[in-house]
Every structure is written in structure tokens, then in C-alpha cells.
Amino acid sequence: MLHSLYRFQAQMEASREVACAPGCAACCTDRVYLTGLEGDLLRRELARQGRLGLLARLEPGPKPAYTCNQLARLCIEGQEPPEEVASGQGAACALLEDGRCGVYEARPLACRVMASRVRCREGGGAQGDPWWFTLDTALMQIAEHIDLGGMYGSLGTVLRREDPLKGEGLLSCEPLPGLVAPPEHQARLQQTLGPLFATPVDGRPLGQWLDLMRAESGAKG
């Protein structure tokens, strides 16, 4: 399912106007949050390349205040989210090589959706389009739901964990409570995500798998 999500994001990205180019790495820091499933894909890619030693260069990052779906749930419920802890700009990602990602094909969704309409400079911020922010947020929510019950945290904390069941510095992935989008984007978002939810995965549409995962999670709860 995660691979299907990545492919869909790449298809959407092809029509996006961005200033990003190979070697443009100002935004590639260690302040990246991802799911445990995404971390497993990264580790497998490093193992395939025979470069697991790169993990030693990663430092555990700050624990996130909330996951994407937790924040969405709190917003839907009208509750205030936990306060984020200031963590600074972060250091350059340890997986960079000469300004390029050493695990580009397996990079997490947070890296895939990071884009800017103007060339970023170190210490500056990206400039994006509100619609793309809405779509990217929805994809991040779906990625978390795919790893429902798994772990969510910073790049260094997720990749360097020794015990896959140990959650120190990590949060638990929550189910998709609903897609958070401003009124002017809701119809477009539903239409855009339709092909993704219809994508066949092991004999079922991806959207059906998401519903089954939610139902199973609710039964366990």
C-alpha cells in the first residue's frame, strides 16, 4: 500500500511547478518525521546498497508533539493540540551525499512532498501553493493510517531503534479520522484522491484496505 501511495504522489508531483532540482538540498535536514513502515523501507534500501553503516551517522531527533492523524482528530474534535517543542532548524541529513539523497527511491513521504516554488536558501523557508499543502497533508494522513498501530517519529529515532517494539521518543500511528481540508479544497481533494483509493492492492482497492484496517483497529479497541 505504501508503494502505491508513493507512486500516486509521484504522478501528482509531475504536474507541480517547483524550483527544486538535483543537488538542491537546503530543506534536507534531520528534522523529518516518518512512520516505522517508511523507516523499514529506508533500512532495506540501505541494506541493499550495503550501507547500513550510515545509520551510525544519524542522531535521534526530538519527539513529535503529535502525529498527522492525531492533529487532525484533535482539530475535528475542537480540542487544542499539544504544544510543539522548539527544535531548531536541524542539521543536514546524514543520508546526503554531495547534496543528493543516498536513498532517494526509498525516501519517506515527508521528503517527497517537500517542494518550493522558489529556490530555497539555507535557513530560509519553502514557498508553496495552498492546494498542494492540502493534498500533501492528506497523503501524510493516509501514510500514517497504512502503518496503523506502528511507530511515528523523527528520522534518527525511527531508523536507529534497536528494538522494533520499543517506543521511546516515538508516538503511535493513529487511524485516519477524516481528511482535513479547507472548504474550497474539499471537492477537489475527494476527486483527486479517487484514483488512489481505487488502486488495486492484492485484489482489493486501496480504499477498501484502509476501511478494513480501521474496522479491525476499532474491534481491538
Give the pLDDT confidence of 141-175 residue by residue, as tens digits: 999 999 999 999 999 999 987 655 556 789 999 99
DSSP 93: P
Please check whether residue 167 is in contact with residue 64, taking contact to mean a CB–CB distance below 8 angstroms: no
The CA distance from 221 to 212, in Å, is 14
What residues have CB less than 8 Å from 215, skipping those under 6 apart?
A: none
DSSP 122: T
The CA distance from 86 to 153, in Å, is 15
Q: Which residue has the higher pLDDT, 134 or 21?
A: 134
Residue 213 backbone dihedrals phi, psi, to 5 degrees: -65, -40
Does residue 99 fall inside a structural domain? yes
Give the pLDDT confidence of 84-113 residue by residue, as tens digits: 876 666 788 889 888 888 898 999 999 998
Total count of domains within the chain: 1
Does residue 129 fall inside a structural domain? yes
Does residue 221 fall inside a structural domain? no
Name the residue range of residue 179's domain.
2-215
This prediction's pTM: 0.90
- Side-chain half-sphere exposure of 40, counting CA atoms within 13 A: 11
Does residue 220 fall inside a structural domain? no
The CA distance from 111 to 93, in Å, is 11
